[in-house]
Structure 1
């Protein structure tokens, strides 16, 4: 199936350019420009100077996050806890470390000031990595006290998407210890960084075979505040989640092994990489695979707000479903399993 490998390169040449760079706009586009140049061709971009007017850029960066603590002093938020900063990611099975499962975070309701202290001072409890987020429109519910600090929607994006307002607006507060494993979303994503930086690795939907998506049993971390330890428990009854197998940053001692297991990723076309800084927006098109790391800003936190707009289930979606259904055989390599149906689980910690 050399045609599939040729498709990876043709998508880059025809739509994206073959230099692994994400286009950067210095000013917000018009709705027409955004629709024509980025939404219709399903092409990511970074927009600078689009949220300079947000009060959040100055208020949320105050020393010791005094504004945030004061504004949310009486609020409880959903705090995600893991031992490694990798939630909704692959982890060794408790009963069989040589096998992997899909591990979700321990989630607990926590007073916001306590959650913020745990996030902003990661060395205080190095055995726990905390992330304040909940992908259920949490900015307009848990964090509604901050609503006036950001725009309720991105006006030029809303117009380009036909006038429909975002399906969800989410707030993310974490630190440099949190990572997001490769995944994709069925949303058009406008991702605005308020503090710190986000480091993305991106792959277009046509590269689906390079991520070795397999079925993994679902598990959840359980955290005991009494012992300060985590247990990883398999769900009962067993539920399987299709998830990307590739870690783009394996430990040096495992690099050779990972390259041997996943050669289509490591030896294929170079992924797109970009850093989104405070005050910038990343347009992440629907169905694009992305892996995310982050660097903390002032006060030890990385803070972002993202707007999820419904994607159009059009001919591009049909093309992708056809492509992922193919049992792809490289001229020299066999891709392990056919891609299976999409999980309802959403990725943690963007």
Structure 2
């Protein structure tokens, strides 16, 4: 019989403090480099300690940095090319929303995916959210930049050379993201080393290291999907059948007005603990987001970005994370 162990809040608080003091620093700001690091510097100073950074002056050689500021260029280059667009009524795809049959509980809602010409998608994204009926976001995470948007490939690097050399591989996937300030992405983590390059606009990140997993109150929620009806402009939200549960972070770092006190009471480890790391990634900059880091993302105004997902190493760090995830804190 396997014995179950638990850790208490004091042990968790010590862990949060020690990780910041020994590896990440006590400031809640992400370190900014003024130029790309050498592969060995990147590996030694950021990948190995699992530490994020922002690299400025990293994309000047990309034609995209100037070309993609022109709506006409993008629409002429892609034109009638069919792309995938994620639609929601509120800009919150892959996030927790009120349960369709019980507004006192929550479910995990995935966006409706619509396929349309790039020109139609681009205009919908640019204009969406203003009337409050639909928010569109190009966020297909299936190597879409090298497939749906392949015609733009020569406008960017196929990979980040110093990162590829440091990590010993080429990216597993390259994705294009186009959204406006009405879209947001709730706290989640990825099993990839992420190089996130902003071409236009700005991305705003809240970041928490993997050791802060218990602060996000990951719980199972029933999965649901939005359906969008173009003739009426309305949405339905339906639970999956058969029922499937998705483990997801419960914390909304920006509670709506009137819910602040309840959120603070429900999730004290988050709101009473160390502040998340915060950063804004501007056009021409790259964020290195280490594997397993939790991140919450907003953008402004309309933002276009390309991200490179490199396979993470399933090494001792992954084992440590799984162990921490398996123990039960005393909340």
- TM-score tier, shorter chain, comes to over 0.9
- 1:105 correspondence with 2:111: yes
Partner of 1:343: none
Question: Which residue matches 2:142?
Answer: 136
The RMSD of aligned alpha carbons is 0.8
Q: Shift in Å at residue 251 of structure 1?
A: 1.1
Alignment counterpart, residue 174 of structure 1, candidates 169, 176, 179 = 179
Aligned to 2:271: 266
Say which of 191, 196, 203 aligns to 2:196: 191
1:96-147 deviation line (CA, Å, top 9, x unaligned): 0111000000001111100011111226653000011210000000000000
Distance 1:237 1:122 in 2: 32
Deviations 1:49-75 (A, max 9, x none): 11111000100001xx00000000120
Match of 1:159 in 2: 165
The answer (yes or no) to whether the contact 2:129–2:135 under 8 Å persists in 1 is no
In structure 1, which of residues 52, 55, 76 is the aligned counterpart of residue 63 of structure 2?
55
Deviations 1:192-227 (A, max 9, x none): 000100000000000000000000000000000011
Distance 2:127 2:219 in 1: 36
Give the structure 1 partner of residue 43 of structure 2. Answer: 35
Corresponding residue number in structure 1 for 2:128: 122
> 2:311 maps to what in 1?
310
Query: CA-to-partner distance for each residue in 1:258-285, whole Å, 9 max, x for gaps?
Result: 0000000000011100000000000000
Q: 1:6: how far off?
A: 0.3
Check conservation: 1:118, 1:124, Cα contact below 8 A.
Answer: no
1:45 to 44, 53, 63: 53
Q: Which has the higher strand share?
A: 2
- Find the counterpart in structure 1 of residue 285 from structure 2: 280
User: Following TM superposition, by how much is the alpha carbon of 1:318 offset from its aligned partner in structure 2, in angstroms?
Assistant: 0.3
Give the superposition deviation at 1:37.
0.1
The answer on whether the counterparts of 1:21 and 1:272 sit within 8 Å (CA) in structure 2 is yes
Equivalent of residue 90 in structure 1, options 89, 96, 101 = 96
Q: TM-score, normalised by structure 2?
A: 0.96
In structure 2, the gaps of 5 or more residues are 1-7
1:139-166 C-alpha deviation (Å, 9 max, x unpaired): 000000000000000000000001x110
Query: Which residue does the alignment assign to 2:81?
Result: 75
User: 2-side partners of 1:167 and 1:123: how far apart?
Assistant: 32
Alignment of 1:188-337 (within 5 A): 188-296=193-301, 301-329=302-330, 334=331
What SS is found at the alignment partner of 2:251? coil
CA distance in 2, matches of 1:262, 1:97: 20
Inter-partner Cα distance in structure 1 for 2:136 and 2:63: 26
Whole-Å separation in 2 of the counterparts to 1:88 and 1:270 = 24
Partner SS state of residue 58, structure 1: helix
Residue 155 to residue 116, structure 1, CA distance change in 2 (3 Å): same
Query: Counterparts of 1:119 and 1:252 in 2: how far apart (Å)?
Result: 27
Give the count of matched residue pairs.
323
